[in-house]
Amino acid sequence: MDEMISKIVEMDRQARALTEKANAKKSQSESKIEQSRKELLEKRMNEAREKLDALRAEEEALSEKRWQEFSRKSDKIVEKFESSYKEKGDKWVDEIVSRVTGS
């Protein structure tokens, strides 16, 4: 009877040891999974930041290009207007005065 009780106690001790081992492995696995999740998240965040920075730089370059084009066109319009004014300004003034005074 004592031998049977000893075997049961021993089996219980072994079962507890196996349970502790399994719990330790489970804990280790959970820690590894959490670490992997954090690393993956950090990697994805860095990739997203890099992509965002690249897109921002591209948009800024495009915006600057459009601004330069707009500025160039505006300068041409102003030049054309000034040229027309130099050429026909006196005539325009005379025409305006004539219409205002009715003569």
- What pLDDT digit, counting tens, does each position of 46-58 carry? 999 999 999 999 9
Domain count along the chain: 1
Name the pTM for this structure. 0.55
91 domain residue, yes or no = no
| % of the chain at pLDDT higher than 90 | 81
Whether 63 has a pLDDT exceeding 90, the answer reads yes
Domain interval for residue 64: 1-73
30 domain residue, yes or no = yes
63 domain residue, yes or no = yes
**pLDDT at position 102:** 82
Give how far Cα 47 sits from Cα of 25, 37, 60, 87, Å: 32, 15, 20, 60
Whether 103 has a pLDDT exceeding 80, the answer reads no
65 domain residue, yes or no = yes
68 domain residue, yes or no = yes
- Average the pLDDT over 1-28 and give the result: 91
95 domain residue, yes or no = no
84 domain residue, yes or no = no
